[in-house]
Structure 1
Amino acid sequence: MTILVTGGAGFIGGNFVLDWLGGCDEPVVNLDKLTYAGNLLTLQSLAGDARHQFVRGDIADSALLHQLLQQYRPRAVLNFAAESHVDRSIHGPDAFIATNIVGSFRLLEAVRDYWQQLPAAEQAAFRLLQVSTDEVYGSLAPGDAGFSEQHRYQPNSPYAASKAAADHLVRAWHHTYGLPVLTTHCSNNYGPYQFPEKLIPLVLHNALAGQPLPIYGDGQQVRDWLYVADHCAALRTVLAHGQPGEHYNIGGNAELSNLQLVHTLCALLDELRPGAAPYATLIRHVADRPGHDRRYAIDAGKLQRELGWQPAESFASGIRKTVQWYLDNAEWVHSVSSRSYRSWTQRQYGAS
């Protein structure tokens, strides 16, 4: 028994691989292109572990996909591989179309070909899990109920549109070909090993360096925050017990505005690594990004009712663990803070 994980050197995929092998001995074949956001240091604890087979490659490489599926004969495929940063999708959508849409299509076709050749019992047990996002649903008004699985797709960024397109392909391959698929939609993840272009590690990285803490617009954009280990537990639950063709929303029950979040991070840093002045003095408001969604919120009631999952971490406990991890793992942070990343943040947020 083996699973194939795509994008398993990225933030969520890497955490999932570590979580999976920390809880069972079923081997993982880990396919990752190692773009700027992929980092093998995330997986260094698995060096020499026979249960983990890393393969550098692209999900758009059909020949490689066919080779891996035939060689390792996985019972499940989990697709984490994606370009995922909204700001980058605004400046350069091409990579998002190539990976999130074309790559997903080629993965689906390779998996369909493999699945159709399996014996009947293995066909019935096989699953393809598409890891998607709440951003495909669009934006909510302040008083609206959280996104349910029935909420219509209304993507507002090139990133969200590319993920929505991939989800539609997954749905079509289920309904047309019978491929047993599962789709999950998570809210904003946070935790260890997150690339520091995302808000939480960006704020921690800049604060510890005494650099400005950029907040888009008025900072009142609201997100639901999900600790990545809780997300991994939810994915394991969906893979084991989800019904093919179904969608499952995964949320952390923790809605905060971006400004509230940054002040929370500053307060934790003031406590755990005090500086010469309160870190909140570094906060700077910068021009808002185009088409910035105002609010996301997840209704994860279906997952709780039908499969019995709920988050183990409160936001208070999860964010404290996260800040402490970044303080304790400066080497990992330094390794991903390359010159190209610094150039990106300078271009994105400016000097203010």
Structure 2
Amino acid sequence: MPIDLRSDTVTMPTEKMRDAMRNAEVGDDVYRDDPTINRLEQIAADLLGKEAALFVTSGTQGNQVAVLTYTQRGDEVILEENSHIYYYETGGLSTIAGVQAKTIKGVNGQIPLSEMRKAIRGNDIHFPRTSLICLENTHAFSGGRVLPLSYMEEVYQLSREFQLPIHLDGARLFNAATSLNVHPKEMAKYADSVQFCLSKGLSAPMGSLLVGTKEFIERARKWRKMLGGGTRQAGIIGAAGIVALEEMIDRLKEDHIHAKSLAEGLSQIDGIDIELDSVETNIIMMDIDRLGMDSREFIDQLKQFGILATSSGPYRIRFVTHRGITNDDVEKAVEAVKSITNSCI
């Protein structure tokens, strides 16, 4: 079996999850009759200190439902220029929600407050209406960087000044909370709605939760149905999500330890550039522009050693640690990179 460092989405459900799925009590969730989904949503809402939650099939669906719930066609949404909602969701902001993206260059996923303030539109007939601020924590493109609580609070205070809602793309929210050693509620309180994934480091086979006020979730439920997210006996999947939330959050610290160990090993290899301080969670970004090959070539060579990784730019490679990665896997990955670089230098 290859050592799969492409993403934490490759995690497999645990045996307890499989047992829970097989034995799940189910009903029709569109009629709100699925007791397992109802329980999952209540657990999620309580965990993040919100009034209600909605099960969605994916993080992308959850983010798009949130945008649809907050905005009207022709509005403008403020986002960091490499945020997942803008960069990796196939143009859903424009094609589905019909809104315009106001992207701002951030630092480690953080939009400068001064730039955010300037981006908020005034009341002018020529301008679209600014209707939403979107944050992402952890920020995937920057290498799983964590938005500090102090920054989130500052953005929240700015949003209250202009009466704008904040949606938090928290696909890896629990990684962020683990890194900061805080309860997830401490992060969620600075956002009006939060989306988080069950299917990444938490190891459930699929699904995400969207949380917010009861009124927001009621409106979101209708948008979910329009996007094809109204499911029937979804409790079969929801049962794995319950196990994920009850048993898989605390172990995320192991993934962070493995990521730091991998980054430290790679940083000692000639021709490899890694900012060790940037490895805050389970994602490592490795630059290879000094090696004379691009990321696609490097990834192809890694495959010969049984290592799978992804490209995050012409000369940038991403590794992601997860429950399936061991100390031995980390050592093998470092040795494989070392072998490839030795042939280049």
Scaled by the length of structure 2, the TM-score of the pair is 0.36
